[in-house]
Amino acid sequence: MPCAVILTAIPVEYIAVRAHLSDLREEMHPQGTIYERGKFFANGKSWEVGIVEVGAGNAGAAVEAERAIAYFNPSVILFVGVAGGIKDVAIGDVVAATKVYGYESGKAKQKFQPRPDLGLSTYRLIQRAKAESKKSDWLQRLTSAVPDSNPRVFVAPIAAGEKVIASSKSDVFKFIQLNYGDAIAVEMEGRGLLQAAHANHQVSALVIRGISDLIDGKSEADAGGSQEMAVRNASAFAFEILAKLQIEEAGKASSQQSTLPLVLPKSAQTMSSDSTPPKVFISYSHDSQEHKDRILELADRFREDGIDCNIDQYEDSPAEGWQRWMLNQVEAADFVLVVCTEQYDRRFRGHEEVGKGKGVTWEGGVIIQELYDAQGKNSKFIPVTFTPQDTDFIPSPLRAATNYRLNSTDEYERLYRRLTNQPRTRKPDLGKLQTLAPRDRKQVFPAISDDSPASNSRPLNFFALDDTWVGRESLIQDLSPRIRSSCRLLILVGITGIGKTALGERLAVELSDWFEGDWSKFHEENFENEQQSNDFASVAARWLEKWGELITPEDRKDTQRLLYRLVRHLKENRYLVQLDSLENILQGNEEEGWSDFKDEWWVQFFESLLVADSCESCIILTSQDLPAQIPTLGTRYQNFWYCQPLSGLEEPERLRLFDKTGLDVGTESTGKPYLERIGCAYEGHPLALRVIAGEIINQPFDGNVLAYWNQHGREVEEVEKAIEEAKTKGITASADDKFNLHRYTRNLRRNVRVRLEKTFNRLQKDVRYGYILLCEASVYRCPVPEDFWLSHLEDWDRDEDEQQVALDALRDRFLVEEVVESDRCLLRQHNLIRSVSLEHLKQLDDNDE
DSSP 266-284: -------TT-SSPPEEEEE
- State which H helix or E strand residue 523 sits in: strand 522-526
By residue range, what is the domain housing residue 799? 757-848
What is residue 705's predicted lDDT score, i.e. its pLDDT?
A: 96
Q: Does residue 445 lie within any of the structural domains?
A: no
pLDDT by residue (tens digit) across 487-512?
999 999 999 999 999 999 999 999 98
Q: Does residue 749 lie within any of the structural domains?
A: no
Tally of domains in the chain: 5
What is residue 331's predicted lDDT score, i.e. its pLDDT?
A: 24
Q: Does residue 463 lie within any of the structural domains?
A: no
Q: Does residue 752 lie within any of the structural domains?
A: no
Listed residue (130, 131, 149, 124) closest to 139, CA to CA = 149
User: Is the distance from CB of 324 to CB of 376 less than 8 angstroms?
Assistant: no
DSSP state of 216: B
Residues 496 and 598 in one domain: yes
Listed residue (251, 616, 217) closest to 403, CA to CA = 616
User: Is the distance from CB of 240 to CB of 128 less than 8 angstroms?
Assistant: no
Residue 574 above 50 pLDDT? yes
Residue 745: Cβ within 10 Å count: 17
* Higher per-residue pLDDT: 844 or 454: 844
What is residue 181's predicted lDDT score, i.e. its pLDDT?
A: 85
Q: Which of 645, 661, 685 is the last residue of a domain?
A: 645
Task: Evaluate if pTM is beyond 0.85.
Answer: no
In the Cβ-directed half-sphere of 162, how many Cα atoms lie within 13 Å? 6
Q: Which range (215-219, 247-251, 576-580) has the least confidence?
A: 247-251
Residue 222: Cβ within 10 Å count: 16
Q: Is 315 left (phi over 0), alpha (psi -120 to 50) or beta?
A: alpha
Q: Which range (147-151, 577-581, 670-674) has the least confidence?
A: 147-151
What is residue 30's predicted lDDT score, i.e. its pLDDT?
A: 80
- State which H helix or E strand residue 693 sits in: helix 686-697
Residue 559: Cβ within 10 Å count: 20
What is residue 742's predicted lDDT score, i.e. its pLDDT?
A: 94
Residues 655 and 628 in one domain: no
Residues 233 and 319 in one domain: no
Q: Which of 207, 222, 256 is the last residue of a domain?
A: 256
- State which H helix or E strand residue 185 sits in: strand 185-187
| Confidence bin at 388 (pLDDT 50/70/90) | very low
% of the chain exceeding 90 in pLDDT: 52
| Confidence bin at 110 (pLDDT 50/70/90) | low
Average predicted confidence (pLDDT) for the chain: 76
Q: Crossing angle for the helix pair 651-660 and 686-697, nearest 10 degrees?
A: 40
Residues 216 and 364 in one domain: no
Residue 583: Cβ within 10 Å count: 23
% of the chain exceeding 70 in pLDDT: 72
pLDDT by residue (tens digit) across 37-63?
999 988 778 899 999 999 988 888 988
Average pLDDT of the segment spanning 389-404: 32
Got the DSSP string for 444-481?
A: SSTTS-TTSTTSSS--S--SS--TT----HHHHHHHHH
* Higher per-residue pLDDT: 683 or 197: 683
pLDDT by residue (tens digit) across 794-833?
989 999 999 999 999 999 999 999 999 989 999 999 999 9
Average pLDDT of the segment spanning 85-114: 85
Residue 51, strand partner residues: 6, 36
Distance in angstroms (rounded) separating the CA atoms of residues 438 and 234: 56
| Confidence bin at 150 (pLDDT 50/70/90) | confident
Q: Does residue 235 lie within any of the structural domains?
A: yes
DSSP state of 443: B
Residues 211 and 292 in one domain: no
Helices (H) and strands (E) in the chain, counts: 29, 26
pLDDT by residue (tens digit) across 295-333?
455 555 444 544 444 433 322 333 222 222 223 222 222
What is residue 566's predicted lDDT score, i.e. its pLDDT?
A: 95
Distance in angstroms (rounded) separating the CA atoms of residues 619 and 793: 38
Q: Which range (101-105, 188-192, 330-334) has the least confidence?
A: 330-334
Q: Is 819 strand, coil or helix?
A: strand
- State which H helix or E strand residue 323 sits in: strand 323-326
pLDDT by residue (tens digit) across 414-458?
434 443 443 433 333 333 333 222 222 222 222 222 333 333 344
Residues 823 and 842 in one domain: yes
Residues 42 and 128 in one domain: yes
Residues 231 and 300 in one domain: no
What is residue 358's predicted lDDT score, i.e. its pLDDT?
A: 30
Q: Which range (27-31, 131-135, 276-280, 561-565) has the least confidence?
A: 276-280
Residues 583 and 671 in one domain: no
| Confidence bin at 32 (pLDDT 50/70/90) | confident
N-term to C-term CA, the chain: 84
Give CB contacts under 8 A, 24+ apart, made by 796-801: 796/769, 796/772, 798/769
Residue 843 above 80 pLDDT? yes
What is residue 297's predicted lDDT score, i.e. its pLDDT?
A: 54
pLDDT by residue (tens digit) across 632-685?
888 888 899 999 999 999 999 999 999 998 999 998 999 999 999 999 999 999
Q: Which of 413, 432, 451 is the last residue of a domain?
A: 432
What is residue 462's predicted lDDT score, i.e. its pLDDT?
A: 82
Q: Does residue 134 lie within any of the structural domains?
A: yes
Residues 629 and 658 in one domain: no
Residues 116 and 201 in one domain: yes
Q: Does residue 262 lie within any of the structural domains?
A: no
What is residue 592's predicted lDDT score, i.e. its pLDDT?
A: 61
Residue 579 above 60 pLDDT? yes
pLDDT by residue (tens digit) across 602-617?
999 999 999 988 899 9
What is residue 296's predicted lDDT score, i.e. its pLDDT?
A: 52
Q: What CATH code is carried by the domain that includes residue 206?
A: 3.40.50.1580
What is residue 256's predicted lDDT score, i.e. its pLDDT?
A: 35
Distance in angstroms (rounded) separating the CA atoms of residues 522 and 619: 10
Identity at 708, one-letter amino acid code: Y
Residues 568 and 685 in one domain: no
Rounded to whole angstroms, what are the CA distances from 432 to 303, 321, 398, 416, 423? 11, 28, 19, 11, 11
Q: Does residue 491 lie within any of the structural domains?
A: yes
Q: What CATH code is carried by the domain that includes residue 575?
A: 3.40.50.300
What is residue 744's predicted lDDT score, i.e. its pLDDT?
A: 94
